[in-house]
Amino acid sequence: MSQSKILLESGTNELEIVEFYIDEPGYRGHYGVNVAKVLEIIRKQTVTALPEMPHPAVLGAFAHRGGRIIPLVDLAAYLGKPLSDDAAQRKIIITEFNQVVTGFLVSGVTRIHRISWIDVEAPGRFLQGMSSSSITGVVRLEGRVVFLLDMESIVAEMHPDLSIRMGRTRATAQEAPMRRYTVLHADDSGSVRKLVRNLLEASGRFEVLQADDGQGAWEMLEALRAEAEGRGQRIADVVQAVISDIEMPRLDGLTLCRRIKEDVALRVLPVALFSSLVTDKLEHKGRSVGADAQFAKPDLQQLSERLLELLGETPA
């Protein structure tokens, strides 16, 4: 599968997903993953067991092109699903994000769908609890329900050192009081929102407003603009920057960024994209919608430092 032929125009609030399935006895579950995270889909390979398996769902590793060794995760085992015995048709979906390549064993792959983020529903609490918070969205396609999986959280559980990390906060010695900034952060992951808030507010430099998707962030910005105009102020007097994930229900981060940069009043706000989709191959998508900075998860430390740079300061 070549990514070059399936990349979407940025800022259209659309995404393409690879639909795949896991066959349980008497039931077929349908799942999806963003095409931008998929390197290739191949047949099941011969797997070599690892000396110390990092997780019960890790089957081992297999050799791929160029001698690369890729760990293989049994997705059914991770989700706690009993897999049916038909092993001949199984496929491996090879993904890459956060600079990590991983193979996921599934029963089979259906096809690619182009959908709008408007059609993606956020999972309810019950579904989140049943899936160990591994589902980020639900979409109805051709009469069936497809669950979008949070591959980042799955990989982070396989390798805890790959989870989003705070990094070291730098001690600063300032004689004069430092200016505090208000930033708006949009992310559909509650755990990521908590980490970002904790990091930025712990620095003493930021107050963080948060929304759980791009649409919520856009509505918040519109309300803040109306509030500022009512007091004879500019939007930059009440909020100074925006941080956004890319993959979010209703309105994605690329479309949110494009809307901000096309708005006469809001375009003064620097926008930083913070997402596992920020890679060398896909960074052009953020540039095309006017993003001022882009950061790949999981390292949070550069986020705080780069924000200060965007706001005209030199981090200590």
Span between the terminal Cα atoms of the chain, in Å:
45
Q: What is the pLDDT of residue 177?
A: 58
Overall residue count recorded for the chain in this entry:
316
Fold topology of 181-310: Rossmann fold (3.40.50)
258-264: which pairs have CB atoms within 8 A and are 24 or more residues apart? 258/10, 258/11, 258/289, 258/290, 259/11, 259/218, 260/221, 260/290, 261/289, 261/290
CA nearest 28: which of 120, 112, 114, 143? 143
- CB atoms under 10 Å from CB of 21, counted, come to 17
What does the domain layout of the chain look like in residue ranges? 3-162, 181-310
Q: What is the pLDDT of residue 1?
A: 43
- CA-CA distance, 103 to 33, in Å (whole number)? 13
Residue 42: its H or E element: strand 38-43
Q: What is the pLDDT of residue 299?
A: 63
Q: Which stretches in the chain have pLDDT values below 50?
A: 1-7, 162, 165-176
Q: What is the pLDDT of residue 2?
A: 40
Q: What does pTM read for this prediction?
A: 0.76
- CA-CA distance, 8 to 116, in Å (whole number)? 11
Q: What is the pLDDT of residue 118?
A: 92
- CA-CA distance, 75 to 255, in Å (whole number)? 31
CA nearest 151: which of 134, 138, 164? 134
Q: What is the pLDDT of residue 123?
A: 83
Superfamily of domain 3-162, CATH level 4: CheA-289, Domain 4 (2.40.50.180)
Local structure of residue 133 (DSSP, 8 states): T
